[in-house]
Structure 1
Amino acid sequence: MSRSVYRAPFHRQIIPWIFAAIFFATAPVLIFYTSGYRLNTKKTVIERNGTLIVDSTPRGARVYIDDTFTEKYTPVTFQNMAPGDHTIRLERDTYHPWEKRLNVRPEQVTFANTVWLWRDVEPQLVLSNPVTALTSSAQRGLLGIASTFDAITTFSTWSPRTGASSPVVLSGSASGSHELLRWSEDGKTILVGGEDTQALTWWSRTDITPLQTNPLPAGLYFWNGNNLHRAADDAVYEVNPQTGSLVRTPLTTDTVDQSDTFALQKATGTSVLLLHEFNFDQRRLSLPEGDWRLAALKNDYALLKNGFQWLSFKLASPTPSSNQTRGGWPDWLTSASQPTAILLNENEVIFWRLDQAPETLWRQSDFVVRATWHRSGLSVFVASKTNVFAFELDSRGGHQITNLGSFDHIYDLSVDQGVLYVAADKNGKHGLWQITLE
Structure 2
Amino acid sequence: MSRIAIRRLNSRQSDFNLQLDQLLAWESVSDTRVNAVVDEVIAEVKARGDEALIEYTNRFDRMSVDSMQALEMGAERLQQSLASLPDAQRQALEKAADRIRVYHERQKGESWTYTEADGTLLGQQVTPMDRVGIYVPGGKAAYPSSVLMNALPAKVAGVKEIIMVVPTPDGVVNELVLAAAALAGVDRVFTIGGAQAVAALAYGTQTVPRVDKIVGPGNIYVATAKRAVFGAVGIDMIAGPSEILVICDGQTDPDWIAMDLFSQAEHDEDAQSILICPDAAFIDRVEESIQRLLPTMERAEIIAVSIQNRAALIEVADLHEAAELSNRIAPEHLELSVADPQALLPEIRHAGAIFMGRYTAESLGDYCAGPNHVLPTSGTARFSSPLGVYDFQKRSSLIMFSAQGASEMGKVASVLARGESLTAHARSAEYRILD
TM superposition score normalised by structure 2: 0.24
Q: For CA contacts below 8 A with separation 6 or more, give which structure has more relative contact order.
A: 2
Which protein shows a greater Rg?
A: 1
More strand by share: 1
The TM-score, its normalising length taken from structure 1, stands at: 0.24
